[in-house]
């Protein structure tokens, strides 16, 4: 067991999630916002154990494992009819339905990306947010006074971002924009669904707001602190401190029926009618609607670093950095370009 000080260029929430998901205990944060943790290397995929296995951290959503000091690994975000791929040098490419794939020219280096049903938002190096695609509800109208952000998450007709001061800002249209709790306070992470949004507060408490017709905002009273959250179409999934996955809300397609033998997970992504999770071994498991093959994980996929569940398709990043998508490919959203 080796001690390690984990730092993230934007927020300690990154190391916070990785630490809690894999460690036996969590010491308090120090004044310099670094996190001293005791690592358990056996929880990492074998391919990540070359060199110092403890030098792997996780991004704000708990969706991407990153080797410290190596920059951004290729990442992928699955929307409705499109997919966006973030390469290791900060370049981004989107494939699928054209409107939300028109990446602005001279965009610069991208640090984070979130693809929704009809629009896409990115966080550039330095924290600036840029959104493009359909904007009928103002979901791409980034507030002029937003300032630098740590992360962004796109919903159906709205966008939410966590500012550098850990305050939540949502813009666009719909219940999540008007229903942000006034006393919310600092948040660690946000996940926008179809018509609702959920945040992890600084103390690990989960708060959801917006539409809750299927119970997607009814946080179980006994849930306790969580490490990460993902909001889907009409359901919500969260990872508890012990690594167990809990889902609640709409379950008409089985998207909340967590497999009994799933065990502890490192990351979760809730799609419209399905859910995918990464086990501590790096194995990808998906459940829920599968009529389009979005839960048919390729048998030769191997361990993955991240996962993103879209409308009717699923995308993951392999340990060699290559993105793989499966499920509905009616408009080419699973046609992955070569990444370098």
Over the stretch 277-329, which tens digit does the pLDDT of each residue have?
999 999 999 999 999 999 999 999 999 999 999 999 999 999 988 899 999 99
pLDDT, one tens digit per residue, over 111-170 is 999 999 899 999 999 999 999 999 999 999 999 999 999 999 999 999 999 999 999 999
Mean pLDDT for the chain?
A: 81
User: For residue 15, what are the contacts with CB-CB under 8 A and spacing of at least 6?
Assistant: 6, 7, 8, 34, 35, 37, 57, 58
| pLDDT number for residue 84 | 95
Domain extents for the chain? 75-327
The mean pLDDT value for 183-209 works out to 96
Q: Which CATH class is domain 75-327?
A: mainly beta
Cα-trace Rg, the chain: 18
- The answer on pLDDT for 64 being more than 60 is no
pLDDT above 70: residue 81: yes
> Which residue has better confidence, 274 or 340?
274
Grouping H, G, I as helix, E, B as strand and the rest as coil, residue 101 is helix
Distance CA(297)–CA(79), nearest Å, equals 18
Q: Name residue 58's beta-bridge partners.
A: 65
| pLDDT the model gives residue 73 | 59
Percentage of the residues of the chain whose pLDDT score is greater than 70: 78
pLDDT tens digits, one per residue of 10-52: 333 333 333 333 332 222 222 222 222 222 233 334 444 333 3
The residue-averaged pLDDT of 213-217 equals 97
- Quickly tell me which residue has 């791409």 as its tokens: 140
The DSSP call for residue 336 is P
DSSP H helices, 42-163, are none
CA pair distance 196, 238, nearest whole angstrom: 14
What pTM does this model have?
0.81
Q: Are 19 and 29 within 8 A, CB to CB?
A: no
Per-residue confidence (pLDDT) for residue 40, from 0 to 100 = 27
User: In this model, does residue 54 exceed pLDDT 70?
Assistant: no
What b/e readout covers 182-209, taking b as 16+ CB neighbours within 10 angstroms?
A: eeeeebbbbbbbbbbbbbbbeebbbbbb
Residue 146 to residue 163: CA distance in whole angstroms: 7
């Amino acid at each position: 067991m080796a001690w390690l000080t984990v730092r993230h260029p934007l927020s300690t929430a990154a190391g916070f999630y990785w630490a809690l998901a894999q460690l036996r205990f969590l010491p308090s944060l120090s004044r310099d916002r670094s996190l001293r943790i005791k690592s358990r290397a056996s929880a990492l995929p074998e391919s990540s154990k070359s060199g110092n296995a403890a030098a792997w951290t996780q991004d704000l959503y708990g969706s991407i494992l990153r080797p410290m000091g190596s920059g951004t690994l290729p990442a992928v975000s699955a929307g409705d009819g499109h997919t966006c791929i973030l390469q290791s040098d900060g370049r981004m490419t989107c494939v699928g339905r054209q409107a939300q794939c028109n990446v602005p020219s001279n965009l610069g280096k991208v640090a984070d990306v979130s693809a929704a049903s009809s629009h896409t938002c990115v966080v550039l190096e330095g924290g600036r947010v840029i959104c493009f695609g359909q904007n009928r509800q103002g979901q791409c109208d980034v507030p002029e006074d937003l300032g630098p952000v740590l992360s962004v998450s796109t919903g159906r007709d709205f966008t939410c971002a966590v500012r550098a001061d850990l305050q939540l800002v949502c813009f666009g249209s719909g219940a999540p924009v008007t229903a942000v709790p006034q006393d919310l306070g600092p948040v660690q992470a946000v996940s926008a669904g179809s018509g609702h949004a959920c945040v992890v507060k600084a103390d690990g408490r989960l708060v959801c707001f917006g539409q809750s017709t299927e119970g997607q905002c009814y946080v179980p009273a006994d849930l306790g602190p969580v490490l990460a959250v993902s909001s889907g179409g009409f359901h919500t999934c969260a990872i508890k401190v012990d690594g167990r996955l809990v889902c609640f809300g709409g379950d008409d397609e089985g998207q909340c029926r967590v497999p009994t033998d799933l065990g502890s997970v490192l990351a979760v992504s809730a799609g419209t009618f399905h859910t995918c999770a990464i086990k501590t071994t790096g194995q990808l498991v998906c459940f829920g609607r599968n009529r389009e093959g979005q839960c048919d994980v390729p048998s030769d996929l191997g361990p993955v670093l991240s996962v993103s569940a879209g409308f009717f398709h699923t995308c993951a990043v392999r340990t060699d950095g290559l993105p793989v998508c499966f499920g509905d490919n009616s408009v080419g959203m699973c046609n992955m370009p070569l990444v370098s």
